[in-house]
Amino acid sequence: MLEIKNLHAAVDGKEILKGLTLSVGAGEVHAIMGPNGSGKSTLSYVLAGRAGYDVTSGSILYKGEDLAAMSPDERAAKGVFLAMQYPVEIPGVTTLTFLKTALNAQRRARGEKEVDAVGVLRLVREKAAAMKVSEEMLKRALNVGFSGGEKKRLEILQMALFQPALAILDETDSGLDIDALKLVAEGVNTLRAPDRAMLVITHYQRLLNYIVPDRVHVLAKGRIVAEGGKELALKLEAQGYEQIIKDAA
Amino acid sequence: MNALVLPNRRIEEWKYTDLHNAVDAEAVSSAPTAAWAIARAQGDLDIDDLPKQVPFGPHGLMAGLAASLAKAGPSIRVRKGEKASLELDLTESGNGRVLIVVEEGASLTLIERQVVDGFINIAAEIEIGKNARVSHLRLVPRGDAVRVADYAVIVAAGGTYRAHLADFGGKLSRTELHMVLEGEGAEAHLSGVSILDGVHADVTTEMNHAVGNTRSTQLFKYVASGAGRGIYQGKVAVAEGANGSDSRQSAKGLLLEDRAEIDLKPELEILADDVKCAHGAAVGDLDAESLFYLRSRGIPEAEARTLLMRAFIGDAVDQIESEALRDTVWQAVDKGLEAMS
């Protein structure tokens, strides 16, 4: 599904990712853990195609295609989804209008028939109930005045609505209390599927108690320095990043 | 005979709108009299020719010329307690004069379209009686015109004036609104949108709170691309003793290209002690983070930009009370945004 080879990437000319290699297969959930400044968010933005996050060498293949050559909207239409750490507030665009516009833009790009207003509302309601996103929230401006938990729930609702093939979750646990965390994790777990890959990027092991990964990668200074099964996350929690990074060196 | 000197950038109020540069003085003094067609009239209203004596309210510099050069014009009256709506289309350019009187307790919905090009200079009087209401939509499609429209609006006690200026610009387009809230409880709510693709639009307002317990709001939004230029100059004056006045004023601009320019100049002059006045102005670019967020959800760049621009404009269009009129303005806005992308 996703093949990253010797990826070097720079933000505003400064190299952040320095030879990152990673492979995620269909049906798998991989966790990327790392201390602050290790390049976790850079990786997520590079995968989503944010301007200013430039691939300087190496390759990213998604379903065999060169991901870096695609615009952010092309990536989304082809099934790449990034649940952001800080979802953006957009005054003047209601949440429902946004969901309808995005869903139909993706469908149009894939040559599928657009869904009418009633159809979108039905689809959204179906997903919203599970994520405890109220009708009132759907009518409000996108993310404006939403709590941290509400924003994250809306990100997972979008993931459920768009049904991506590759989902990247960037620090989805940050700012969540335990109940919100469980709800979000449950939402993510329902979306685990044989034809879907997930990359869970997190600083803390906490989220991985609820979203149990198949593989854990440790990112430090722009490279993967350690890899293992889910037990690696527990080891990190017990020993701290410093020890693991030192052992790996 | 003294040569006519048109307002130019050396005059403070015309600093951003150089009429002298845009048109020959000769073309102004020899321009024909402007004419309107009544596209639609509903309810109880009288439409006549201008009376011999037309009142002349507080106006800007060009209105005197319009008043002295225009030979005729429509005079519209809605009698006491009556309700009417009127659609006026300017069909011939030139110097023009309009008088609108809405008597006590009456109401008028006025839609005014300026579809012709050429030189246009209009002086309009709008008198709003006690507890009367006027909803005014001025719709100006993008064109090559050099136009000045100067309104003097006097609102009596308990009366309400709402105006929305949807001006998509011209070679030069200047709208002046000189408001006098003359009686207690009088209100004025002004809003407007301008999508300016290489063209010019200037809104200059003067909001006089002559007595206390009067309310005014102003909300104007500008989007400029190419060598487009948007101007808002708004002066709010609260007279001595006009306590309990409440005034809000906001103008915002979105600059899509470096060549475009938006000048926003809100001003306050408060001589009363107990008033609430707020004003603000800001010019910026489309937010890069918002744009990325929308694109990361599959929305192509052009569509995402349009969505953000509509969102930016939205609250100004929402000031229009009638849903039908809001739809009319949205259609014009969408046309403007589409032409720009």
Mutant choice from A41, A45, A50, A67 vs B, greatest count of B C-beta within 10 A: A50
Report B:249-288 residues touching A (Cβ under 8 A).
Answer: 287-288
Cβ separation B300–A109 shorter than 8 A: yes
- The tokens for B205 are 């307002």
- For residue A168, pLDDT over 80 is answered with yes
pLDDT for A237? 86
Interchain pair A98, B290: CB under 8 A: no
pLDDT higher for A203 or B184? B184
Give me the residue from B289, B293, B300 closest to A105, CB to CB. Answer: B300
Q: Which of A86, A98, A144, A151 is best to mutate for the B interface (most B CBs within 10 A)?
A: A98
Residues of chain B found within 8 Å of residue A84, distances taken between Cβ atoms: 293, 296
- For residue B290, the chain A residues in CB contact (below 8 A) are 88, 90
Distance from CA of A90 to the nearest CA of B (A): 7
Pick from A51, A92, A103: which is nearest to B315 by CB?
Answer: A92
Q: φ, ψ for residue B30 (rounded to 5)?
A: -100, 5
CA distance A42 to A49: 10
- pLDDT (tens digit per residue) in A94-112: 999 999 999 999 999 999 9
Residue in chain A nearest B286 by alpha carbon? A90
Averaged pLDDT, B152-166? 98
Inter-chain Cβ pairs, chain A and chain B, closer than 8 A: 75
From B298's Cα to the closest Cα of chain A, the distance in A is 4
Q: Which two tokens stand for residue A134?
A: 């109220």
Region B131-155 average pLDDT: 97
Q: For chain B, what percent of residues have pLDDT higher than 70?
A: 99
By the 10 Å C-beta count (0-12 exposed, 13-18 middle, 19+ buried), A195 is classed as exposed
Compute the distance between CA of residue A168 and CA of residue A200 in angstroms, rounded to an integer. Answer: 6
The pLDDT assigned to A204 comes to: 87
CB contact under 8 A, A73 and B296: yes
Q: In angstroms, how far apart are the furthest CA atoms of chain A? A: 57
pLDDT mean across residues, chain B: 95
Structure-model confidence comparison of residues B28 and B4, the more confident one: B28
Q: Is A162 on the interface with B (CB under 8 A)?
A: yes
- Residues B215, B189: Cα–Cα separation, whole Å: 8
Q: Do B297 and A162 touch (CB under 8 A)?
A: yes
Q: What is the rounded average pLDDT of the residues A162-180? A: 92
The answer to whether residues A153 and A175 touch, using CB atoms and an 8 Å cutoff, is no
Chain A residues lying within 8 Å of B294, measured CB to CB: 90, 98, 102
CB contact under 8 A, B314 and A92: yes
Any A CB within 8 A of B52 CB: no
**CB of A78 less than 8 A from some CB of B:** no
Q: What is the pLDDT of residue A246?
A: 83
Q: What is the reported pLDDT for A244?
A: 82
Q: Which pTM does this prediction carry?
A: 0.92
Q: Can you name the residues that pair with B246 across neighbouring β-strands?
A: B215, B276
CA B169 – CA B144 distance, rounded (Å): 8
Do residues B5 and B25 touch, judged by C-beta distance below 8 A? yes
pLDDT tens for each residue of A42-85: 999 999 999 999 999 999 999 999 999 999 999 999 999 999 99
Query: Over the stretch A127-146, which tens digit does the pLDDT of each residue have?
Result: 999 888 999 999 999 999 99
Distance (Å) from the alpha carbon of A158 to chain B's nearest alpha carbon: 9
Residues A76, B289: C-beta atoms closer than 8 Å? no
d(CA B138, CA B55): 22
Q: Which of B292, B312, B318 to mutate to test the interface with A (most CBs of A within 10 A)?
A: B292
What number is the average pLDDT over the span A199-211? 92
Task: Give the pLDDT band (50/70/90) at residue B1.
Answer: very low
Spatial neighbors of B83 by CB under 8 A, at least 6 apart, are B43, B44, B106, B107, B108
Confidence of residue B2 (pLDDT cuts 50, 70, 90): low
DSSP of B246-283, one letter per residue? EEEEEEEEEE-STT-EEEEEEEEEE--SS-EEEEEEEE
Tell me the mean pLDDT in the region B78-96: 97
E strands, chain A, are: 2-11, 14-24, 29-33, 53-62, 65-66, 80-83, 90-94, 141-142, 166-170, 197-202, 215-220, 223-228
- CB contacts of B300 in chain A (<8 Å) are 71, 73, 105, 109
Interchain contact B83–A (C-beta under 8 A): no
Q: State pLDDT tens for residues B34-63.
A: 999 999 999 999 999 999 999 999 999 999
**A76/B295 Cβ within 8 A:** yes
Q: What CA–CA distances, in Å, run from A175 to A138, A171, A172, A243, B83?
A: 21, 9, 8, 26, 56
Cα gap B330→B324, rounded to integer Å: 10
Q: In the predicted model, what is the mean pLDDT of residues B134-158? A: 97
Averaged pLDDT, B144-151: 97
CA distance B198 to chain A (A): 26
Helices A148-162 and A178-190, interaxial angle, to 10°?
0
What's the Cα-to-Cα distance from B315 to each of A200, B221, B310, rounded to whole Å?
Answer: 38, 9, 9
CA distances from A213 to A20, A192, A208, B23, B252 (A): 19, 11, 7, 73, 48
